[in-house]
Amino acid sequence: MASDAAARQPVGKAKLAAVIVAMISGVIAIEGGYVDHSADPGGETNMGITRRTATQSGYTGPMRTLPRAVAESIYYDRYLVQPGYAALVPVDAAVTEELFDTTVNMGPARPSTWFQQSINALCGTQLTVDGRVGPGTIAAYRACQARRGAGALCIATLDALDRQQSAEYVRLVRANPKLGVFLKGWLAQRIGNVDRRKCRGARA
């Protein structure tokens, strides 16, 4: 039995890697190539990576020629590992995808906070809402999966995160009307973008 489990382990890692690659590729497809929009406070971007983020990650070349491999590495390190989402991938890849995508769009603090709030609301827990997804947050989510069912909790969580994100976009545009040029695209591409059928793969 031990040898069978060991033989299965690389397959699991390969599937996990494939899921992460798909997440990153999906974000790059949405973000597109080089953009320097006058209304975007982030300035120059390429594949969704801002100049500031690229520089902080050690890239010093022109943004117009940012290599895809560099963008992929930045996405993995800064938007999946650093916010604590990597450990959530084998637990619920669909929810991780939603958190990752939102973090790319608006940083980790808000989606991480919304995730903790959704666990408290949906599961009756009393997590400290600090915007940091760590072992305690993931353990609470896993415990709730066992009670509510992994697939059902996945769908409910995605719906809750989408509601928070949609309301935040509206708030941002009200605070800064110049961002209104982006609202239609945000709502079309970032709300409801994670297929709920992926929740079938969530694991309790």
Residues 76 and 7 in one domain: yes
Q: How many domains does the chain have?
A: 2
| Nearest C-alpha neighbor of 83 from the set 62, 57, 109 | 109
Segments forming the whole domain that contains residue 171: 91-204
The tokens for 168 are: 């935040």
Regarding beta strands 49-50 and 45-46, do their DSSP bridges make them parallel or antiparallel, or are they unpaired?
antiparallel
pLDDT tens over the chain, length 204 residues: 333 233 223 336 777 789 999 999 999 998 889 988 777 777 899 999 999 999 999 999 999 999 999 999 999 999 999 999 999 999 999 999 999 999 998 999 999 999 999 999 999 999 999 999 999 999 999 999 999 999 999 999 999 999 999 999 999 999 999 999 989 988 988 999 999 999 987 666
- Three-state DSSP at 45 gives strand
Query: What b/e sequence results for 41-71 when a residue is b if at least 16 CB atoms lie within 10 Å of its CB, and e otherwise?
Result: eeebbbbbbbbebbeeeebeeebeebeeebb
- Residue 6: per-residue pLDDT: 30
Helix (H) or strand (E) holding 90: none
So what's the pLDDT on residue 152?
96
Per-residue model confidence (pLDDT) at position 168 = 95
Same domain, 18 and 97: no
- Point out the domain boundary residue: 26, 50, 82: 82
pLDDT of amino acid 13: 73
pLDDT at 159: 97
For residues 2 and 42, state if they share a domain.
Answer: yes
